[in-house]
């Protein structure tokens, strides 16, 4: 992606972000004081609101264009917030503008990005704390008295606001519903703002439950030294716990992306993306979304994924396509623009191309795309996944990667020496024959899986051993063997060495099997 010529500087540093936030809130407080001084005073105390003239009030029904609302009014000194309960009950809450400003000034991390503040006109900056307050208190609409900005200003910048406030892939909309002439001669408009995707019966309770779960995940996250370790933890949570839904999952409507992802544990690409957006921003990692059209092998269609600033560097992320994959085999975690494009062509939306920063680095070594299209490459891939089972929980690895072969493998006991499973050792060897010959299977099991009371016993590796393998490339030799270059990764998925794997194969009419393997390189002793 080419950076636009006139792009304003991107705010990256955490302290600069904090300074900007405080400045916005100061601007908000000053503007709100001025806007509310219709009687020549700036006193915003609730008791003083009764002194506001009738000309400086409008009814809730007028403010929200809903004749079914209960009787009530909002003055130019307050903001009216609208909420829909799970049973469809609607409630309106008047909150002083000063209270909004004070609460958001003390707010910690927000469930949204700050990235797009740089693209908003200054007149709209006071709107952000109001939207943040609405999100914090689960309001989906608000009527805001203002002479500073109008519905046209919000409409003109709706895409940036919608990138910031992600709810069911919907946006922020506005409607100027009423104007009031104040005593100071200024006409103020009550702007009706709606957070799309939340403005329907049953949506808000689901959002509350889901965002509570998101905060729990972030708050219970271990303390890490780097944002990258933090990003990996949250990304892995999604890819391990959430499964991709069928194409017709949302055909009956009533969907709530964050709820479906974190509570029901099933979603589509928009759910993975929106949830990662919330998790990363709640944890202090600046994150936003990219959307576009995918073309290439396996079909074409709309897709959405993420960009995040991790430890000062921008990367692309696509948790959807890493669903169910071991971390060592992630293809779409913290990758460059080039690596993301190497698997399928992504035609990024024109609007996204305008704001998206260049992602020039990949955190993990690049996986050669052609591996997935080769029969022998696939055999080698599964072999390495089985190797990774030595370092991870073998039951989890085997049942996840080969559910047809090990559907009910359960642990019986666990010791410092290893883990005992209920699958018979002989059956285990037989099942491995789907990928390798019996001789190769016995060779593979040596030092990894042994027989204990007739069952499979997975030996624990040395604590100094690497975390997993990452297949980087392979070359098919004239004799039919394959030489592969494999990266060795530690617990943080950082490369700590390489090893060469030489695979020989036995071919039948039915399939191609691994017949033997040899390891050479800096860490071959671990193989």
* pLDDT > 70 in the chain, percent: 83
pLDDT digits (tens, 9 = 90+) for 23-74: 444 444 444 444 443 333 223 233 333 456 767 889 999 999 999 998 999 9
- Split at pLDDT 50, 70, 90, the class of 135 is very high
Q: Average the pLDDT over 130-141 and give the result.
A: 95
pLDDT in tens, 445-454: 888 889 999 9
What is the CATH number assigned to the segment(s) 213-364? Answer: 3.10.620
| Range with lowest mean pLDDT among 280-289, 358-367, 486-495 | 486-495
Q: How confident is the model at residue 181 (pLDDT cuts 50, 70, 90)?
A: confident
Percentage of the chain exceeding pLDDT 90: 42
What Cα–Cα distance (Å) separates residue 121 from each residue in 34, 148, 166?
19, 11, 20
Q: What is the pLDDT of residue 524?
A: 43
Three-state SS for 107-165 is CCCCCCCCHHHHHCCHHHCCHHHHHHHHHHCCCCEEEEEECCCCHHHHHHCHHHHHHHC
Length of the chain: 527
Task: Give SS3 for 431.
Answer: helix
- Averaged pLDDT score across all residues of the chain: 83
Write the pLDDT tens digit of every residue in 99-126.
Answer: 999 999 998 889 999 999 999 999 999 9
Give the pLDDT confidence of 195-214 residue by residue, as tens digits.
988 888 788 889 999 999 99
Q: What is the pLDDT of residue 88?
A: 86
Say what the pTM is.
Answer: 0.82
185: exposed, middle or buried (Cβ count in 10 Å: 0-12, 13-18, 19+): exposed
CB 470 within 8 A of CB 487: yes
Residue 388 has what pLDDT?
77
- pLDDT > 60? residue 264: yes
Q: How confident is the model at residue 232 (pLDDT cuts 50, 70, 90)?
A: very high
Rounded to 5°, angle at Cα 324 from 112 and 482: 125
| Higher per-residue pLDDT: 22 or 86 | 86
Distance CA 443, CA 9 (A): 57
User: What is the predicted pLDDT for the residue at 143?
Assistant: 96
Please return the burial class of 292, using the count of CB atoms within 10 Å of its CB with bins 0-12, 13-18 and 19+: middle
What pLDDT shows up at residue 403?
58
User: Are the C-beta atoms of residues 467 and 491 closer than 8 Å to each other?
Assistant: yes
Confidence of residue 299 (pLDDT cuts 50, 70, 90): low
- Which is higher by pLDDT, 325 or 287? 287
User: d(Cα 322, Cα 477) in Å, to the nearest integer?
Assistant: 30
Q: Looking at the predicted structure, is the pLDDT value of residue 522 above 60?
A: no
Sort residue 185 into left (φ over 0), alpha (ψ -120 to 50) or beta: left
DSSP sequence for 495-515: EEEEEEEEEEEEE-SS-EEEE
Which two three-digit tokens encode residue 37? Answer: 């001084």
How do residues 243-255 score in pLDDT, each as one tens digit?
A: 998 766 676 666 8
Residue 156 has pLDDT above 60, yes or no: yes
Tally Cβ neighbours within 10 Å of residue 403: 12
What pLDDT, on a 0 to 100 scale, did the predictor assign at position 119?
A: 93
pLDDT of residue 378: 77
Check residues 255 and 298 and name the one with the higher pLDDT: 255
Q: Do residues 261 and 275 lie in contact, with contact meaning Cβ atoms separated by under 8 Å?
A: yes
User: CA–CA separation, 206 vs 307, rounded Å?
Assistant: 26
The pLDDT assigned to 179 comes to: 87
The total of other beta-carbon atoms located within 10 Å of residue 85's CB is 13
The token duo for 395 is: 């039951």
Q: Which of 365, 397, 401, 375 is nearest to 486 (CA)?
A: 365
Burial of 232 from C-beta contacts in 10 A (0-12 / 13-18 / 19+): buried
User: 24-38, 158-172, 429-443: which range is least confident on average?
Assistant: 24-38
The pair phi, psi for residue 274, each rounded to 5°, is -65, -40
Q: What angle do CA 228, 232, 238 make, to 5 degrees?
A: 150
């Amino acid at each position: 992606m080419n950076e636009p010529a006139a792009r304003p500087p991107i705010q990256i540093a955490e302290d600069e972000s904090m300074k900007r936030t405080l400045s916005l809130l100061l601007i908000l407080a000053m503007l709100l004081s001025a806007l509310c001084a219709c009687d020549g005073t700036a006193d915003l105390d609730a008791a003083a609101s009764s002194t506001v003239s009738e000309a400086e009030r409008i009814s809730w029904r007028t403010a929200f264009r809903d004749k079914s609302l209960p009787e009530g009014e909002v003055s130019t000194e307050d903001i009216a917030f609208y909420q829909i309960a799970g049973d469809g009950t609607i409630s309106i809450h008047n909150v002083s503008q000063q209270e909004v400003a004070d609460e958001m000034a003390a707010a910690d991390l927000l469930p949204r990005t700050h990235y797009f503040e740089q693209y908003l006109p200054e007149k709209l900056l006071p709107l952000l704390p109001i939207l943040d307050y609405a999100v914090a208190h689960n309001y989906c609409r608000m009527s805001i008295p203002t002479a500073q900005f109008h519905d046209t200003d919000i409409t003109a910048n709706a895409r940036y606001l919608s990138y910031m406030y992600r709810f069911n892939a919907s946006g922020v909309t506005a409607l100027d519903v009423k104007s009031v002439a104040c005593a100071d001669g200024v006409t103020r408009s009550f702007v009706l703002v709606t957070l799309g995707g939340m403005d329907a019966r049953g949506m808000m309770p689901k959002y509350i439950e889901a965002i509570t779960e998101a905060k729990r995940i972030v708050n219970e996250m271990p303390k890490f030294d780097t944002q990258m370790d933090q990003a990996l933890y949250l990304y892995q949570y999604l890819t391990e716990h959430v499964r991709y839904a069928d194409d017709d999952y949302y055909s009956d409507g009533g969907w709530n992306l964050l709820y479906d992802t974190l509570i029901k544990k099933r979603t589509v690409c928009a759910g993975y993306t929106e949830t990662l957006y919330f998790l990363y921003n709640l944890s202090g990692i600046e994150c936003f979304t990219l959307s576009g059209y995918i073309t290439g092998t396996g079909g074409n269609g709309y897709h959405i994924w993420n960009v995040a600033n991790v430890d000062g560097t921008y990367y692309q992320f696509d948790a959807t396509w890493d669903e169910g994959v071991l971390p060592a085999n992630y293809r779409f975690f913290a990758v460059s623009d080039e690596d993301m494009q190497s698997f399928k062509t992504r035609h990024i939306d024109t609007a996204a191309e305008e704001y998206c920063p260049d992602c020039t680095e990949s955190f993990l070594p690049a996986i050669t795309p052609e591996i997935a299209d080769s029969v022998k490459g696939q055999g080698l891939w599964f072999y390495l996944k089985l190797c990774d089972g030595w370092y991870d929980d073998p039951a989890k690895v085997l049942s996840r990667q080969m559910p047809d072969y090990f559907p009910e493998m359960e642990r019986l006991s666990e010791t410092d020496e290893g883990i005992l499973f209920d699958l018979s050792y002989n059956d285990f060897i037989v099942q491995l024959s789907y990928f390798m010959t019996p001789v190769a299977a016995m060779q593979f099991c040596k030092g990894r899986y042994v027989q204990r009371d007739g069952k499979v016993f997975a030996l624990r590796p040395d604590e100094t051993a690497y975390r997993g393998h990452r297949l980087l490339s392979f070359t098919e030799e004239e004799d039919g063997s394959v030489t592969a270059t494999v990266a060795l990764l530690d617990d943080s998925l950082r490369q700590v060495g390489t090893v060469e794997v030489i695979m020989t194969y036995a071919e039948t009419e039915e399939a191609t099997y691994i017949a033997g393997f040899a390891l050479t390189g800096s860490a071959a002793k671990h193989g």
